[in-house]
Amino acid sequence: MTKYRRIGLTVKSGFDHKDEAVARILKILRKLDCVTVVDPTRMHDLPCVRECEPMNPKKKIDLLLVIGGDGTVLRAVREMRDFSVPILSVNRGTLGFLAEIELDEADHILPALLFGKGMIDARGLLQIEAVRGRKAFFSGHALNEAVIAQGTIARLIDLETTVNGDALTTYRADGLIVATPTGSTAYSLAAGGPIVHPAFDSALILTPINPYSFSQKPVIISGESRVDVSVHMKVRKFADVDVNLTIDGQMYVPLQDGDHVRCSVSKETAKFLRRKQDTFLRTLRTKLKWGE
């Protein structure tokens, strides 16, 4: 009997041969006598899932299986209500930093993982809160990062940043990225931030986006810290600019002058089912092509 009996299945919204990919995974799960419940929002049009029960938040699953790329995993984490459920990702995207297996190796690796031969890789999450006045108008989690940035015109904004109530600096920049170690290989890396091994799950990475001052470099701080970013949009003689809080590149929250964005490491973790203890260095070699 498999360790994971009741499997939730979700999929990337649009990619070529989606029905074939899902059908292949379902065939493996049926052979293992697993009960598969599916994401009705993104799989209602697939003929292969007609006999499957739709996922119900009130009914617990043992594992969430995600077919797609990193964006699909980020969306799945954001929509999760029970963080005790591990995630297994089958890559059908591009880079696939968060994926554990490729579709063409699922036939032999997926059964082994479901029979308990894998391990759980817990990744830290950001707890994010946006406050206007004294009232929070947004609260949520991020696996990769929270980004406070302007994106409509080439104009700098001021981001007054404190750590545990102590002044750090006022970034004069296009924006600021607050990332987890998992997110260190995403937007933060593209903006010049460091790669941080996910074993340092209790850490926060602050990476300014195109800072005006050359002295404002990325900073790694303790995950026990609380970061507060106060947004100042009125830059000199110009009118207000459009600034958004972006969560994992997928959710956008409009900000106003004087709003605060508060970030800390969540008590919750996202749990991923892996085939062995440390796949991060292998991922760097293959996904960033360091082995070439």
Catalytic residues: 70
CA nearest to 88, candidates 142, 1, 287, 96: 96
Looking at the fold, whether 141 and 85 belong to one and the same domain comes out as no
Q: Is the pLDDT of residue 153 over 80?
A: no
Question: E-assigned strands of 92-249?
Answer: 101-102, 119-132, 135-142, 145-150, 157-163, 166-173, 175-179, 203-209, 219-222, 227-232, 243-247
Mean pLDDT check: name the lowest of 44-48, 124-128, 260-264. Answer: 44-48
In this prediction, residue 13 carries a pLDDT of 84
Looking at the fold, whether 38 and 160 belong to one and the same domain comes out as no
Looking at the fold, whether 71 and 176 belong to one and the same domain comes out as no
Specify the number of domains making up the chain: 2
Query: Does residue 90 form part of some domain?
Result: yes
Question: Where in the sequence is the domain holding 238, given as residue range(s)?
Answer: 125-267
Q: Is the pLDDT of residue 40 over 80?
A: yes
Query: Does residue 277 form part of some domain?
Result: no
How far is CA 3 from each of CA 59, 75, 109, 214, 278, rounded to the nearest angstrom? 17, 25, 14, 53, 21
Query: Does residue 275 form part of some domain?
Result: no
Q: Is the pLDDT of residue 27 over 90?
A: yes
Mean pLDDT of 255-282: 90
The DSSP bridge pattern shows strands 135-142 and 145-150 to be unpaired
Q: Is the pLDDT of residue 156 over 70?
A: yes
pTM of the complete model? 0.92
Looking at the fold, whether 109 and 242 belong to one and the same domain comes out as no
Tokens of 163: 């750590």
Tens of pLDDT along 192-239? 999 999 888 789 999 999 999 999 999 999 999 999 999 998 655 555
